[in-house]
A = this chain, B = another copy of it.
Amino acid sequence: MKVLITGGAGFVGVRLARALLARGVLDGRRIEQLVLSDQVAAPADLLADTRVQGRVSPLLAACEGLRRTSFDGVFHLASAVSGECEADFDLGLRSNLDSTRALLDALRFQATATASGGAAAKPAKLVFSSSIAVFGPDPAYPFPAEVADDTLPTPQTSYGTHKLICEHLVADYTRKGFIDGRAARLMTVTVRPGRPNGAASSFFSSIIREPLAGQDAVCPVSPEVSHPVSSPALTVRGLITVYEASREAFVGRTAVNLPGLNVTVQQMLDALAAVAGPQARARVRFERDEGIARIVANWPRGARNGRAARLGLQPEANFEDIVRQYVADCAAGPDAAAALKGLN
């Protein structure tokens, strides 16, 4: 089978690609080709795999070409992040809405072209990575302490708005039989390696990553702030599980919340101390950033896990496991010494 990952050179995309290549199989079928579409090149280890084809271009520009390829499966992860969308309204609309429309239309073209050619029209399976950012407090309604699958989404950012809109496009293209789509709402994925990105949630990684690398970090919100998070590995497992779920098991066409561990900043720092010692913990200081604090105050403080649990997905048991997963990932990577300098 032929699989496409949009955003295939990104944080989650790269890990998803590695997981798929390691399995070799998706949905019971052998993966013959894995196309990684992104604005930047995928890492060398992925491109070295003969099954992998990298395509570097903006997704919107790539979609015309996608019409000429017949994909069996798609993971649609490409997206401008929250900070980018707030800073550049048009960029957000283009990257998140127009690109998703173009991708869905390319797959629709594929499905209808196959159908009119006389062959069996099997629409592509598609998993869309939505986000917990679809939820936000609306003055008209109480905002629950924990958001559930059926909590009313009232997004408070353009990013969350775009994700919600795309969920509904995916549902409608699915209803029409143009794709077999499912939307999965990612929790905040942590610990992200590398540098901070444009997301306001960036600190959820940096307060762990920087101390482990022996660097100081600033936490822009107070220790009581609570939020549902997930490790990269569990997030990847969630995306694959949602892909492989039967339509009956997925139930309906409404987006599902992936599992989230509800954790406070304090608990995150306690976990850091437990794994890396008090000297690592001491590298984090609190310095309130009103801009970030205001955004984070609009985020869910926790999530519930009904439909994901029925698909066999549970959140991590505690944040220490997430820190340890990050340490193990770094230890296996080429920059282990620098990334884990703070551990010594």
A151 to B152, CA, bound (A): 7
Chain B contacts for A152, CB-based, 8 A: 150-152, 254
Chain B contacts for A156, CB-based, 8 A: 175
Chain B contacts for A81, CB-based, 8 A: none
Q: Which of A136-144, A195-203, A267-275 contacts B (4 or more CB under 8 A)?
A: A136-144
Chain B contacts for A216, CB-based, 8 A: none
Instruction: Number of A interface residues at 8 Å Cβ cutoff, please give it.
Output: 29
Q: Is A307 an interface residue (CB 8 A)?
A: yes
0 or 1 for each of A262-303: is its CB under 8 Å from B? (1 = yes): 000000000000000000000000000000000000000000
Chain B contacts for A176, CB-based, 8 A: 89, 158
Which of A93, A172, A253 has most chain B Cβ within 10 Å? A172
Is A140 within 8 A of B307, CB to CB? Answer: yes
Chain B contacts for A165, CB-based, 8 A: 165, 168-169
Is B154 within 8 A of A252, CB to CB? Answer: yes
Copies of this chain, whole number = 2
Given A152-B152, A175-B156, A176-B158: A254 touches B168 (CB 8 Å cut-off): no
Q: Is A161 an interface residue (CB 8 A)?
A: yes
Q: How many Å from the CB of A243 to the closest CB on chain B? A: 18
Is A171 within 8 A of B161, CB to CB? Answer: yes
Chain B contacts for A101, CB-based, 8 A: 93
Is B89 within 8 A of A138, CB to CB? Answer: no
Is B168 within 8 A of A138, CB to CB? Answer: no
Q: How many Å from the CB of A209 to the closest CB on chain B? A: 31
A140-B252, A154-B171, A156-B175 known; 12 new pairs, CB 8 Å cut-off, are A139-B252, A140-B149, A140-B251, A140-B254, A150-B152, A151-B152, A154-B252, A154-B253, A155-B172, A161-B168, A161-B172, A164-B168
Residues of A within 8 A of B (CB): 89, 93, 101, 138-141, 149-152, 154-156, 158, 161, 164-165, 168-169, 171-172, 175-176, 251-254, 307
Sample 19 A-B pairs with CB under 8 A, ordered by A number. Answer: A89-B176, A93-B101, A138-B253, A138-B254, A139-B251, A140-B150, A140-B252, A140-B307, A141-B149, A141-B254, A154-B253, A154-B254, A155-B168, A155-B171, A156-B175, A158-B172, A161-B172, A165-B165, A165-B169
